[in-house]
Amino acid sequence: MKPAIVTTRRQRSTPPAPVSSFPYHPGSLLSVLDLTVDGVSQLLIRATELENEDPIGRDHILAKRRIALLFYESSTRTRTSFELACKALGADTTLVSSLSSSIEKGESVKDTGLTLRALGAEAIILRHNSSGAAWLLEESTRLPVINAGDGMHEHPTQALLDLRTILTHLRPGLVGVAPDTLAGVTVMITGDILHSRVARSNMQLLPRVGARVLLCGPKELLPEQAARSGPGIEIERDFDAALAQSQAVMMLRIQAERLAGLQLDLDEYKANYQLTGQRLAAHAPAAVVLHPGPIIRGMEITAGVADGVQSAILEQVTNGLAIRMAVMERALTAENGGRA
Amino acid sequence: MTTLAICGGRLVDPAAGVDAAKDILLKDGRVAEIAGPGKLKNMEGAEVLDATGLVVAPGLIDIHVHLREPGQAYKETIATGTAAAAAGGFTSVAAMPNTTPVNDSPEITRWMQAPERGASVRVFPIAAATRGSKGETINDYAALKSAGAVAVTDDGRPILKDGMMRETLAAAARVGLTVIQHAEDTRMTQGASMNLGPVSFKLGLRGMPPEAESSMVERDIRLVAELRESHPHLHVAHTSTAAALAAVRQARRNGLRVTCEVAPHHFLLTEEHVGLYNTHAKMNPPLRSAADRDSMIEGILDGVVDAIATDHAPHAMHEKEIEFELAPNGITGLETALGLCLRWLHSEWKIPLGRVLSLLSAQPAALLGLKGRGTLAVGSFGDVVVFDRTAEWIYRATESKSKAKNTPFDGWEMLGKVRWTVSEGRVVHASA
Ligand SMILES: [Zn+2]
């Protein structure tokens, strides 16, 4: 590193923050920050094109290309979505899950990745319980790595599919995005922000297309520093007040055992933060409701709202397939991948 | 034993108040004579090092290193760790007791100093404060001291219980040993792998609050104050937070014997240097905020910091090539300390050369009571570093003498190149 000089508050030069060499591969998608706004736009446009394309023609795009799904955590929803997206483009997929032997025996992420590469994998989709694992895998293998969720950190394809869902409802007819596309729109995210990779990816992505992100939840699940982790992020602890400002309402799953660990009362949490039909009608009667799943009905959201007219929860699942087709096509074909 | 003359250089010996053109003669491992250029009287048969244009200074002293022996020779050995020390200009290193087994006995303390270890420079063991560093039973400090231990600590496993820490301070004071505390309230850092703040939030990593360090330092100082009559010496290892440094400053104003050290990474780097999960920027205490880092610089400038210590913590490559949260803490530091201190403390922040060298030799020697070290006055040990203070160079971890390569300073610009390191009259490192 060249010590180019950075000036601090006290006019004293100190070593500059490091420059990242990630992603090593232009097809990788480790973080939403890997993408420029234009790169996001291209993915959204391709998702729509691929969705509309004849399945027979689509089948040739990645015909016989080899993609490995490396899942250290079980996740039926995300794994199935990626698998179907790969297969829709004609690719061959292999699943290596936490139940399989090499992971069980404690082989390192690096060695598992190198083994998959030696077996001919051309890209790896990784779900891992440790934040940053996707970076480790990419650095070790130099293959296109798609982050399908790393610890509490990021889940970039989820944020992209959430963006597509929000666009469908709030900017109908628009396919691509620009830095001001969601100007004037407030997206609230409620619940266990601290442990949520979905929240982190959305918090980093949505402000870059003009949205204001409003975080809501108790201190234990939403520390103050969340608002300082990027631009366009604010905190509103009062759920009703946050609802009243929002055009999109994203609810996150609450795990009861996590509340217990934080000495939070379940009934109190529900009284303060559960999204009910009554609340929605009173404060956000036109907002679109999102939830990354899995839903715990009667916990963070009532069944009535989950199944109600404002809910876009199943659309999110469908959008996931389209987004992941575009992401996998980019992984294996893109020249520069719309890199940031 | 050979006689060695170092001639033509600029002798900088802050402890002796010397900064002048001097020749120096080392005989039988000791400084035998100091004279003006060309004026040494007893040169016959001496090997001569031409130090023209170079700085001649007391060998550097690092009071916080991990040499990994006994028990973890795959990370480092006493031989390789001290070879790295010699390459970095260090002639004395104080070795932490978190080995396998823990150095909590006179036997291990002696074993570490035995000639069979092949050390290039002097190793001063720091013994465990408690049996197995478990924080339950006090070790026999008198026996450890006579075996050569220069301080006691449970580094890495802080002494949490007030009663145990009080007992440790009192027992160490009775035999005149320093208690070194790795200040961390581990109840506040469970599962955490970096500093707590916006960066840890963004990276989805659990964070260590600065209070985990400062509250422990404040507690320890309270205990030192309570034991004031028995004059305990508390030394705070690797200080990293503004609040901890402020507590040390206040304790000193109150007349307590409390000292502290700061590592180069804590006065140079911040949590931003973790980048995207760079395990070579993972250590404990972690890299802190820019404000904390700036306080470390202030502390060095205003004198509350007593010593620069590297916390040299070698790990095998494969141990660092894993998930950030699972990777072990620590970075190497012996070969980069001088180059970074001259580049930043001296050249950039204008701290006089003598003061920088004092923080790296005279002050740490005084702190641990290493007699005859940290100065080149006649009669002291012949521990010398000779370096070109104007040479700029790039540090390459691959060329390290250490077994380990885990450093965030790979590829960094250094200022000041070590030409010779002399340990007790023997040249233990030479470079072009
Ligand atoms: Zn320590």
For B83-101, b where at least 16 C-beta lie within 10 A, e where not — what string?
Answer: bbbbbbbbbbbbbbbbbee
Mutate to test the interface with A, among B323, B342, B395, B410 (most CBs of A within 10 A): B323
**Contact residues for B346 (Cβ-Cβ < 8 A; gap 6+):** B352, B353, B356, B415
Banded pLDDT at A7 (limits 50, 70, 90) = very low
Take residue A331 and report the two structure tokens written for it.
């992984």
- Is A232 found in the same domain as A173? yes
- Is A130 found in the same domain as A106? yes
For the stretch A224-260, pLDDT in tens is: 999 998 999 999 999 999 999 999 999 999 877 777 7
- Is A126 found in the same domain as A75? yes
Residue A59 lies in a domain: yes
- Is A169 found in the same domain as A301? yes
The full DSSP string for A58-112 is HTTTTTT-EEEEEESS--HHHHHHHHHHHHHTT-EEEEEETTSHHHHTT--HHHH
Closest residue in chain A to residue B410, using alpha carbons only:
A1
What pLDDT does B2 receive?
A: 83
- Is A52 found in the same domain as A181? no
The full DSSP string for B13-74 is EGGGTEEEEEEEEEETTEEEEEESTT--S--TT-EEEE-TT-EEEEPEEEEEE---TTT-TT
Which residue segment(s) compose the domain that A81 sits in? 32-154+320-330
Start-to-end C-alpha separation, chain A: 21
A131 vs B268, B293, B324: nearest CB: B324
- Is A244 found in the same domain as A291? yes
| Catalytic-labelled residue, pool B220, B311, B383, B388 | B311
What pLDDT does A12 receive?
A: 84
For the stretch A52-98, pLDDT in tens is: 999 999 999 999 999 999 999 988 899 999 999 999 999 999 999 87
CB–CB of A131 and B277 under 8 A?
yes
Q: Which residue from B387, B330, B321 is spatially nearest to B72, judged by alpha carbons?
A: B330
Residue A295 lies in a domain: yes
Residue A42 lies in a domain: yes
Residue A127 lies in a domain: yes
Q: Give A277→chain B minimum CA distance, Å.
A: 32
**C-alpha span between B195 and B193 (Å, rounded):** 7
- Is A295 found in the same domain as A324? no
Q: For residue A144, is the peptide bond before it cis, meaning its omega torsion is within 30 degrees of 0?
A: no
- Mean pLDDT value across residues A218-223: 94
For the stretch A27-55, pLDDT in tens is: 999 999 999 999 999 999 999 999 999 99
For the stretch A148-199, pLDDT in tens is: 999 999 999 999 999 999 999 999 999 899 999 999 999 999 999 999 999 9
Give the containing element (helix H, strand E) for A251.
strand A248-251
Is the predicted pLDDT of residue A2 greater than 50, yes or no? no
What pLDDT does A105 receive?
A: 73
Ion ligand 1 — residues with CB < 5 Å: B 155, 182
Chain A environment of B344 (Cβ under 8 Å): 14-15
Mutate to test the interface with A, among B202, B206, B346, B393 (most CBs of A within 10 A): B202
Q: Which residue from A37, A19, A46 is spatially nearest to A333, judged by alpha carbons?
A: A46
Q: What is the CATH number of the domain that holds A301?
A: 3.40.50.1370
Is the predicted pLDDT of residue A4 greater than 90, yes or no? no
What pLDDT does B71 receive?
A: 96
Give the pLDDT means over successive 10-residue stretches in chain B (432 positions): 92 97 97 97 94 98 98 97 98 98 98 97 98 96 98 94 97 98 96 96 97 98 97 98 98 98 98 97 98 97 97 97 97 98 97 98 98 98 98 97 97 98 98 84
Banded pLDDT at A10 (limits 50, 70, 90) = low
Residue A84 lies in a domain: yes
What pLDDT does A257 receive?
A: 74
Residue A27 lies in a domain: no
- Is A296 found in the same domain as A187? yes
Q: What is the total count of domains within chain A?
A: 2
For residue B367, how far is its CA from the centre of ligand 1 (angstroms)? 18
Give the containing element (helix H, strand E) for B266.
helix B264-268
What pLDDT does B1 receive?
A: 60
- Is A241 found in the same domain as A125? no
What pLDDT does A336 receive?
A: 56
- Mean pLDDT value across residues A206-227: 96
- Is A268 found in the same domain as A161? yes
Query: Is B292 tagged catalytic?
Result: no
The full DSSP string for A28-55 is -BS-GGGB-HHHHHHHHHHHHHHHHS-H
CB–CB of A12 and B297 under 8 A?
yes
Q: Give B369→chain A minimum CA distance, Å.
A: 33
- Mean pLDDT value across residues A128-134: 97
CB–CB of A136 and B277 under 8 A?
yes
The chain-wide mean pLDDT, for chain A, equals 92
Residue A324 lies in a domain: yes
Q: Give B44→chain A minimum CA distance, Å.
A: 47
Take residue A192 and report the two structure tokens written for it.
């266990």
C-alpha count within 13 angstroms, C-beta hemisphere, residue A293: 17
Q: Which residue from A328, A252, A295, A301 is spatially nearest to A77, judged by alpha carbons?
A: A295
- Is A324 found in the same domain as A242? no
B198 vs A15, A194, A229: nearest CB: A229
Residue A337 lies in a domain: no
C-alpha count within 13 angstroms, C-beta hemisphere, residue A4: 4
**Contact residues for B155 (Cβ-Cβ < 8 A; gap 6+):** B64, B96, B97, B98, B126, B133, B180, B182, B237
- Is A184 found in the same domain as A123? no
Chain B environment of A197 (Cβ under 8 Å): 204
pTM of the model: 0.94
For chain B, domains (ranges, CATH) are: 3-56+381-391+415-430 (2.30.40.10), 59-367 (3.20.20.140)
Ranking A2-6, A315-319, B59-63, B81-85 by mean pLDDT, the lowest is: A2-6
Does A141 contact B at CB distance below 8 Å?
Answer: no
